[in-house]
Amino acid sequence: MEIIALITGFALILVGLYGILSKRNIIKIIVGFSLFDTGLHVLIVTVGYIKGGTAPILDSVVGTTDVASKIVDPVPQALVLTAIVIGLGVTSLMLAYALKMYQAKKSLDISDFKDMKW
Amino acid sequence: MIRNFFIIAILAGLAAVFVSLFWNFGDSEVLTPLATHYATNGAAEVGAPNLVTSIVVTYRGFDTLGEVTILFLVASIVSFFLKREKLQPETTPKRETSEIILTAAKLLVPIVMVLGIYVFINGHLTPGGGFQGGAIIATAFVLLLMANPDFKINHKIIATVESVSGIAFVLIGVFGILLAGGFLDNKVLPLGTFGKIFSAGAIPLIYSFVGLKVGSELSNILSNLQGIQKEEM
């Protein structure tokens, strides 16, 4: 189980980084950032996996006694919840900037924006 | 050419790091000491069956306050950047919205809203919570905007809901200092019966305010991104 999650996470990060580095369209670069983000989230949740553990919810299956031996680590899941929200904020900001850049030069090609390049 | 070579070199280097990480990855058999504390004492200290919620809202409530603040900051920056300077009348005639979307929107929007409210009120019992519920509420607004592109979300209502829930979140935190153990302590309200909807102290209240705040902020971002499409691009 954790092997699949690890491979997915690493693959998503590599695909996202490839998109960020090689694409010229700004929207595609933003998609690359989102993929990178998702891969990191998958990896962080995987790190908290405990062999044979179940979801950290104290329902009738887990009970309230001897919980620590039955559940997976809830801390990485809470951190990923935060990270997903921040990732959403960053993505919407990038999209807003992309809109503004398109309005300024009528182009979404990253090589048309060389004003700040040194 | 050189650029492609550099890209491949960077990716190959990162892939090599990942492969070595992959081979050295060992499953954990036991929880970390911190997680063990949360797991054994979470039910007694916080009273929420969903341990992720008790970590997000109570043990690390300050983080969540910061997270909500960041989301607020993003919403304000997006509305600042995409503010409509000139509203010229529509020039190009628009195609009618398809009847499927219109009917689906009429049927689904109330149901999706109720689902979102359910998800954030039950955040301490089931998987879910304020952020997830808020996102579900925002999808209802997406459906509304798709069905009727001229639909204007009332910014007065959104701003009121957002500021009231934000202030209420901080006020509950301050009451925690005065009446309980510290900032954002959930014991300002009685813990109640474990596993019931009105339990876990202030967690359902805090998560409802977070849900309303996130829902209104996301709807605000969406309506800004949608509104700018009307300007000639």
Query: Tens of pLDDT along A96-105?
Result: 888 888 888 8
Nearest CA in chain A to B75: A89
Please tell me the predicted confidence (pLDDT) of residue B84: 66
pLDDT tens digits for B49-77?
888 888 888 888 888 888 888 988 988 88
For chain B, the average pLDDT equals 82
pLDDT of residue A59 exceeding 90: no
Confidence of residue A15 (pLDDT cuts 50, 70, 90): very high
Q: What are the domain boundaries of chain B?
A: 33-84+97-228
Average pLDDT estimate for B1-30: 84
Q: Chain A closest CA to B128's CA: distance in Å?
A: 10
Tokens 């300002």 — which residue? B188
Is B7's CB within 8 Å of A22's CB? Answer: yes
Confidence of residue A60 (pLDDT cuts 50, 70, 90): confident
Q: Is B177 in CB contact (< 8 Å) with chain A?
A: no
Is A67's CB within 8 Å of B40's CB? Answer: yes
pLDDT tens digits for B185-206?
777 777 777 777 777 778 888 8
Kindly compute the dihedral angle of the four CA atoms of residues B148, B154, B158, B159, in this order, to the nearest 10 degrees.
140
Disruptive mutation site among A47, A51, A81 for chain B (greatest number of B CBs within 10 Å): A81
Contacts of B55 in chain A (CB under 8 A): 74-75, 78
Greater model confidence, B99 or B92: B99
Please tell me the predicted confidence (pLDDT) of residue B227: 72
Residue B32: partners with Cβ closer than 8 Å, 6 or more residues away: A73, A75
- Tokens found for residue B36: 């063990």
Please tell me the predicted confidence (pLDDT) of residue A41: 93
Confidence of residue B85 (pLDDT cuts 50, 70, 90): low
Q: Is B190 in CB contact (< 8 Å) with chain A?
A: no
Please tell me the predicted confidence (pLDDT) of residue A29: 93
| Domains in chain A, CATH or no CATH each | 2-54+68-112 (1.10.287.3510)
Is B233's CB within 8 Å of A102's CB? Answer: yes
C-alpha–C-alpha distance, residues A104 and A108, integer Å: 10
What's the whole-model pTM score? 0.82
Please tell me the predicted confidence (pLDDT) of residue B93: 65
Please tell me the predicted confidence (pLDDT) of residue A113: 80
Residue B12: Cβ-neighbour burial (10 angstroms; 0-12, 13-18, 19+): exposed
Residue B221: partners with Cβ closer than 8 Å, 6 or more residues away: A92, B74, B75, B78, B79
pLDDT of residue B29 exceeding 60: yes
Is A22's CB within 8 Å of B35's CB? Answer: no
Please tell me the predicted confidence (pLDDT) of residue A28: 92
